[in-house]
Amino acid sequence: MSRYRGPRLKICRRLGNLPGLTRKTSKKQAPAGEHGQRLRKPSEYSLRLEEKQKLKFNYGLHEKQLLRYVKTAKKVQGSTGLVLLQILEMRLDNTIFRLGMAPTIPSARQLINHGHILVNNKHVSISSYQCKPGDNVQVKNKKSSKNLVEKYMNFPGLSNIPSHLEMDKSKLLGQINGIIDREWVALQLNELLVVEYYSRK
């Protein structure tokens, strides 16, 4: 499955801070583009598109994946935008990132694909695996796996672990205690605009 492998700072300059995509920060203050200026007032469509792109790039999703998540969120009772964010936050790659085991979501995905991660003592190699409250996420009992994660944990991507997660650094064991609250989502966006973007699809 192809992933975005282009310049990440260019995306961050256009869309704002995306903690899941990269830890780098650009010295350039102006938005990406020839002149770095927006002369026209953005249309409603462009605002919705921008919010959708934030989700897509931050969580490393394809268009089809994101559309499928939106359709799933619509079937669940409650605010569709909040449910969508909760589904994305409970992905295994994002959970590992939020626990501090990896500096970015792409690096967390690589840990999973290379077999360094166990969920409830079972080997899981699917990044989109949906974690549930009560699940335990731990590093494989192998020296190379532990050394890699310990190196990552010295320089975490985000400073604070969300309230629904617990991390035992001595055992390299993370526990999921519940569903994430809206205020703990690290991405700055209006999720209702994303739902509006997909309302006609």
DSSP codes of every residue in 9-62: HHHHHHH---TTT-S---S--SPSSSSS---SPPPHHHHHHHHHHHHHHHHT--
List residues bridging with 119 in a β-sheet: 122, 137
Cα 40 to Cα 28, 43, 87, distances in angstroms: 21, 9, 35
Enter the CATH code of domain 91-178.
3.10.290.10
Per-residue pLDDT of the chain (201 residues; tens, 9 = 90+): 457 777 777 777 777 777 777 776 667 666 666 655 565 677 888 889 889 988 988 888 888 999 999 999 999 888 889 999 999 999 999 999 988 888 888 889 999 999 899 999 999 989 889 999 999 999 998 898 889 988 888 877 677 888 888 888 888 899 999 898 888 887 888 889 888 888 876
Please identify which residue in the block is written with the tokens 């939106």.
70
CB neighbourhood size of 90 (10 A): 19
Pairing assessment for the beta strands 136-139 and 122-123 based on DSSP bridges: unpaired
Distance CA 89, CA 110 (A): 17
What is the reported pTM?
0.84
